[in-house]
Amino acid sequence: MTTQGYLSTKPIPARERLILALDVASLEEGKRWVDRLGDSVQFYKLGLQFLMTGQYFEMIDWLASQGKKVFADIKFFDVPETVRLAVEQLQRRRVDFATVHGNDAMLEAAVSAKGNLKILAVTVLTSLDRGDLDDLGFQCDPEELVLSRARRALKLGCDGVISSGLEAARLRGELGANFLVVSPGIRPVENRPSDDQKRTVDVADAFLGGADYIVVGRPIRQAPDPRAKAEEMQATIAGIFRG
C-alpha cells in the first residue's frame, strides 16, 4: 500500500518533518545535543524521561529561544477533567504538539482546552505487535485497532494521530489527508534483537505511506556521527518532497 499517492501535501517545511526524540537525562545534556545537531534538526520531542529531569519547562523555553519547535510527548491519560486542566496549562507554553493516550472522554477534554496546541491521539505504540495486543486483551490486528482509534480521535476534534508508518497508508486511504500523521519507530536498517521497537519502517516508506512527520531517536543519537546521520535523513526527506 506504500504509494506516492499518499505523499503529504501540507505546507510543512521539509526540514521540520524530522523530529528528534530528545530522550536524555538532564537539561545540560539536552542542550549539548541541540548544539551538536545544529540546523540539522529543527523539531524536538520531549518525552517522559526528560519530564523526570525536573527541567522540562526550562527545556521547552530554551528550545523556543533557539527557534526550535517542540513536541510534548507526555501521553496524557487520566480523569477527563484532569486531562483538560493539564492541556490548558500546557497550551500556554511554546509547544506545538502534545499527545493524549486515552478514551473518547479524555480526548474530548484535551481538545476542549488545546488553544493553538495540536493534539495527537496515540493509536497503538510501535513497541507493540499482535502478540502484545493479545496479552492486553485486544483480539484484533494492530492495523484495525489503529484505524478504529484514529477514526474516533478525528471525530472528536484531534489534529492528528501517532501511528506507525506501517499503518499510515491505510489511514490515508480510509480517512483522507486532512489530519496529521506522526510516525515513530523509524529504523533505517533491520532492528537489532535488543531494540524494543517492533512495528517499524524506514524514512522513505513512512513518508511515501502518508506520514507528515517522523520521530527518530536512537538511529541518530547512537550513530557514529549524529549530525551527519540527521543530515542524511534530511537529504532523503528533501528528495522525496522535491519529487
The catalytic site residues sit at: 75
Bridge-based pairing of strands 97-100 and 69-76 is parallel
Cell numbers representing residue 148 in the block: 478504529
In this structure, how many other beta carbons lie within 10 angstroms of the beta carbon of residue 47? 19
Taking the C-alpha atoms of residue 98 and residue 21, their distance in angstroms, rounded to an integer, is: 13
Q: What are the residues whose beta carbons fall under 8 Å from the beta carbon of 78, sequence distance 6 or more? A: 86, 102, 106
Whether 209 contacts 172, CB under 8 Å: yes
Whether 41 contacts 18, CB under 8 Å: yes
Taking the C-alpha atoms of residue 227 and residue 24, their distance in angstroms, rounded to an integer, is: 16
